[in-house]
Amino acid sequence: MEADLERILFDEATIHHRLDELAAQIANDYRGRELTVIAILNGSVILMADLLRRLPMPLKLDCLSVASYHGGTKTTGELVFRQLWMPDLAGRHVLVLDDILDSGVTLATIREKLESITPGPQSVRICVLLEKKKTRVRHVDADYVGFQIGDEFVVGYGLDYMERYRNLPCIGVLRKDLIAATA
């Protein structure tokens, strides 16, 4: 799989070191409060497993399954929620966990949806492993960011191209010749 990368951006050790820092920051910010983590499937599964085990505090975990890409490398601007019920978040401190902030459509829509629930959460914050530096379709701020990257298509550590490469331990830029002309 690594041979399919144009270059590696973050190796496993670098990612884990950054997760130590993020976890310390989150644990400090939520001291004395109980957290509900909402992990956005499928992209955040690896991040979820590695980050949550670094948080030495009581927390609840729920997952939301959404789709925006339909297989390519560009967002369709439309988000599909796959579950019938939203978790009970009344009065909770919610931390939304996602792999990457790109166009902003996914996280802006999810934030809106969580904040529209009544009775709703007490607070909603967002944590992403990667944030692309670019002009977004929807404005959304992440409260915790692992790394900022340029506007390139990356895979690995949960991030996929057509559902592949999620199990790569590092994060890298996918070779352009492997991205279908139609993507």
Q: Which residues bind Mg ion (CB under 5 A)?
A: 160
Catalytic residue among 4, 102, 151, 177: 102
For ligand IMP, what does the binding mask look like between residues 99 and 138, x meaning CB under 6 A?
xxxxxxxx--------------------------------
Q: In whole angstroms, what is the distance from residue 5 CA to residue 103 CA?
A: 23
Any idea how long the chain is?
183
The beta strand positions in the chain, using DSSP E, are: 5-10, 35-41, 59-67, 80-81, 93-101, 123-132, 144-149, 154-155, 171-174
Position 69: which residue type?
Answer: Y
Q: Is-catalytic flag, 99?
A: no
SS3 content of the chain, % helix, strand, coil (to 5): 25, 30, 45
156 binds ligand IMP (CB under 6 A): no
Among 52, 75, 86, 143, binds ligand IMP (CB under 6 A): 75
Binding-site residue total for ligand IMP (CB under 6 A)?
18
38 binds ligand IMP (CB under 6 A): no
Q: Which residues are catalytic?
A: 102
Binding region for ligand IMP (CB under 6 A): 43, 68-69, 75, 98-106, 153-155, 159-160
